[in-house]
Every structure is written in structure tokens, then in C-alpha cells.
Structure 1
Amino acid sequence: MQGFKFFAPGMARGVMRGVAHVVAGVAVAALVAPAFAGGSDQLKAFASQVKTARGNFEQRQVKPGQNGAVKVASTSSGTFEFSRPGRFVWRYVKPYDQLLQADGEKLYIYDKDLNQVTIRKLGDSLGASPAAILFGSNDIEKNFNLKDSGTKNGIEWLELTPKAKDTQFQRVGIGFKDGNLAAMELYDAFGNVTLLTFSNIQKNPPLPADHFKFVTPKGADVIQG
């Protein structure tokens, strides 16, 4: 999992390093409502209407280059499923096969190459992390300040800043297009930026709670966080 910034800064090759800082995951779904006046209205509709979803994602970690250019440091892709609040499967397929899975109480991080599982308590950190936008309750404004930030490349954007002072993220950009949540931009406290785009969205598919039960692979080392 090349540097998935929704969890912590500087995670090269996996989400193992620093996962204790932000315990959560990410995914996205299409809205069922028609076009809205602004991104904040669409986000609120997403939180209240979309309870489950599945789809594909592409993740890019970028760094500023010369003359204002943006350099892509790494790219990864995979699939996701979620059932709010607090249940999800976020699987990296390329360039590495790794898995993050939560059952509503615990977060499981599986590195296939190492055959190692790290287990963390999901706890209250979901509510204060960017993942709460997608996996948490619909009380987004309890943890974030929302501000519409206009249209860019046909996508209506809004900016969220966490109300808590001890989070790993300074701000989160969320983009909607034609009523669908299409992209996210994550800006962490270390100046790193992670871009997420989503495709092949299915909204509100049947995903029972036991679908998110993690089964430890045979012979895997288990580390309790």
C-alpha cells in the first residue's frame, strides 16, 4: 500500500508505519440525489443517503516540483467496500497486494508479502479522521468545518478542516460531479498531498455485518496494536 495518507504520513509500501496516528480507511459512493447547489450540500446528502458502497480507486501521492509543477511520487490502485459506520474493506491490488479491513470495532492490516496482520482498536479516532466522512456517522459538522471552494475541471469542490487540533490532516478536499462523489485531496501536517479518484461505484448494495469479519490467514504473524 504505497503511502495511503488517510492513515498516517510516510507509509511507504504499506500502511504499517504510523497507523496508530489515524485509524480508519477510505472509500466512496455515488449519490442518489440530483445535482445540488454546492459541494457541501452534496456531501451532506452523501452522508445521509449512502449507507453502503463498493467500487474501485486510484491513489496518487504527489510532491511539488519546479515552477509550480506537480510530481507524482507513487501510484497505487485497488477496490473498496464499506458499510457505515465503521465497517470497510480497502484492498490494494497494485503495486502490492495488501488489505485494510474494519469490523466496526477493530482495524486489521494485512501484508500478504510478509504474511503479517496488525490489529488496532478502531476506537473514537474514526470520528476525528477524514475517513469519518465516508465511514462514520452523518454528523460530519461535529468534527469538521465545511466550506464550498468552487468548480474545477467540471468538479464541484468543498474544503473540510478538522475542528480538533491534534489530527494528522490539515484539510481535506472533496469533489463531486453530477451528484457523485468523484475525488478527494488529502493534505497532511507534513506538507504531503494524496489524491484519490473513484470509479465503477455501486451505491447501497447489500453488505451484511458478517461480510466485514476478518479471518486471519493461515500461518500469519499477528501483532496486537
Structure 2
Amino acid sequence: MKKIVYALSFVGLVLPGLVAAEVHPLQQLVNQLKTFSADFVQEREEEYFFRIERSTGTFDLMRPGMMRWDYQSPEQQHILVDGIRLWVHDVELNQVSVRPVAEIQNDIPLAWLLFEEPIEQAYRIVSAGNRAGLTWYNLRPRGNTFFQSIEIGIKDGVMQQVWMYQSADNVTKVRFENIQVNQPISPQAFRFSVPNNADLFGEM
């Protein structure tokens, strides 16, 4: 029986038309990623005020389906995906909103990284050349989303930057620092508890 299995495996490798299609380098990066943790610096140019809005915080991801994006300054805000729901906690206002991920998955800018569906199922991947020592890829949504495109900058097989374009003049740029890839993260990091006395919008 083992010989039959081995023979069938070999035939599957060599018969014309059965050779697996080449996997895009960006898809390879995602396939190999289990966890990702980093500090981040986020910048967005405020078009009407001619200034840069700058935020910092930490980011943790565990594939598939769990993400934590914690803004620490200038204001605290927590965005968490627990695999089923997306939670947003505004600390200053003591407000929490929650929505099923299935309703908004296409509008999550890192959905291409977070979930198991092939990237090219929802995006066209376009090579965007090299700049600032990084290799860039542009993701163009196949469906309607609130952003026009996303650019990912990679170095040595690790995601270093993500730029999110809502328009040509409205770009949010995220730079990652102190990156750790495929290091253990406790699943408890992606559990959210509604704070006492917080206003809750949405159904749990």
C-alpha cells in the first residue's frame, strides 16, 4: 500500500497540467507566518491643516483570525479581533463597539494577512518596485472597500511597513519596529472584556 501511495505522489508531481502553480512571494510570506508582534509608528498627513498626525503603539497578530492593535499615544484606543468579533475600545470616552468580523472583513486593512483565504482571492497583487531598501507590493481590492489600495514593504522576508490609501491624498503609513516573527503569543492576549460602566454599542 505504501508503494502505491508513493507512486501516486510521484505521478502527481510529474504529469503535465498537475504541476502546482508558482506561489507569489507575498503569499509565501503569509503562509509561513504564524505570529507577528511589533511596536508601530503610524503617520497620516492632515490635508487641511498641513501637519502630520502621529500615533504610536503595539501590534500583535496570531493567524488565523486574531489581532490586537493598541494605540498608546496620543490617545489610548484598543482594536481587537478575536476570531469572531471586532472590538474597538476608546479609553478616554469609555466606549466599546463590537461587530461580527464576517460583516466587515473586507474593510479590515490587514485582512489579507489575518485570514486564511488566498490573497489573490480578494486582491490583485502588483509589484511596486524597490525603495528605501524595501521590496514593495501593492494590493488592489477586487471588491468595494473603504480603501483604494494597500502597499506592503518587505525586507529579508519580514513585513516592515504598510501604507493604506483611501485616496491619493489620504494615506496612512505604518512603520513597524522591534519586530518578532513566529514567537509564542498567549491566546489570552486576544480576549476582550468590556470594562465596567463602559457604553457598549453592538451586540456581543
TM-score by length of 1: 0.73
Match of 1:84 among 63, 71, 76: 63
Secondary structure, in 3 states, of the residue corresponding to 1:85? coil
Q: What residue number does 1:207 align with?
A: 185
Query: Which letter maps to 1:77?
Result: T
Q: What residue number does 2:129 align with?
A: 150
Secondary structure, in 3 states, of the residue corresponding to 2:102? coil
Q: 1: CA distance between counterparts of 2:159 and 2:29?
A: 8
Match of 2:26 among 43, 58, 65: 43
- Which segments of 5 or more consecutive residues in structure 2 lack a partner in the other structure? 1-22
Q: Which has the higher contact order (CA 8 A, sep 6+)?
A: 1
Confirm or deny: 8 A CA contact 1:50 1:203 kept in the other structure.
yes
- Provide Cα deviations, 1:2-26, integer angstroms capped at 9, x if missing partner: xxxxxxxxxxxxxxxxxxxxxxxxx
Q: What residue number does 2:152 align with?
A: 174
Confirm or deny: 8 A CA contact 1:128 1:143 kept in the other structure.
no
Q: What residue number does 1:130 align with?
A: 109
- Which segments of 5 or more consecutive residues in structure 1 lack a partner in the other structure? 1-39, 66-70
Structure 2 vs 1, CA of residues 120 and 132 (structure 1 numbering), >3 Å: closer, same or farther? same
Identity %: 33
Instruction: State the structure with more CA Rg.
Output: 2
Secondary structure, in 3 states, of the residue corresponding to 1:141? helix
What is the deviation of 1:88? 1.1
Q: What residue number does 2:3 align with?
A: none
- Is 1:53 the counterpart of 2:36? The answer is yes
What is the deviation of 1:42? 3.7
What is the deviation of 1:63? 5.2
Confirm or deny: 8 A CA contact 2:96 2:194 kept in the other structure.
yes
Give the ranges of 4+ consecutive aligned residues of structure 1 lying more than 4 Å apart after TM superposition.
Answer: none
Structure 2 vs 1, CA of residues 142 and 128 (structure 1 numbering), >3 Å: closer, same or farther? farther
- Provide Cα deviations, 1:40-95, integer angstroms capped at 9, x if missing partner: 94421221011112111110002569xxxxx5430001001111222111100010
Query: Which letter maps to 1:217?
Result: P
Confirm or deny: 8 A CA contact 2:67 2:114 kept in the other structure.
yes
What is the deviation of 1:205? 2.2
Q: 1: CA distance between counterparts of 2:151 and 2:51?
A: 18
Confirm or deny: 8 A CA contact 1:126 1:136 kept in the other structure.
no
Pairs aligned (count)? 180
Confirm or deny: 8 A CA contact 1:81 1:89 kept in the other structure.
yes
TM-score by length of 2: 0.80
Q: 2: CA distance between counterparts of 1:218 and 1:204?
A: 34
Query: Which letter maps to 2:121?
Result: K
Confirm or deny: 8 A CA contact 1:50 1:204 kept in the other structure.
yes
Query: Which letter maps to 2:142?
Result: K
- After TM superposition, the structure 1 = structure 2 runs for residues 213-224 of structure 1, keeping only pairs within 5 Å, are 213-224=191-202
Q: 1: CA distance between counterparts of 2:108 and 2:90?
A: 23
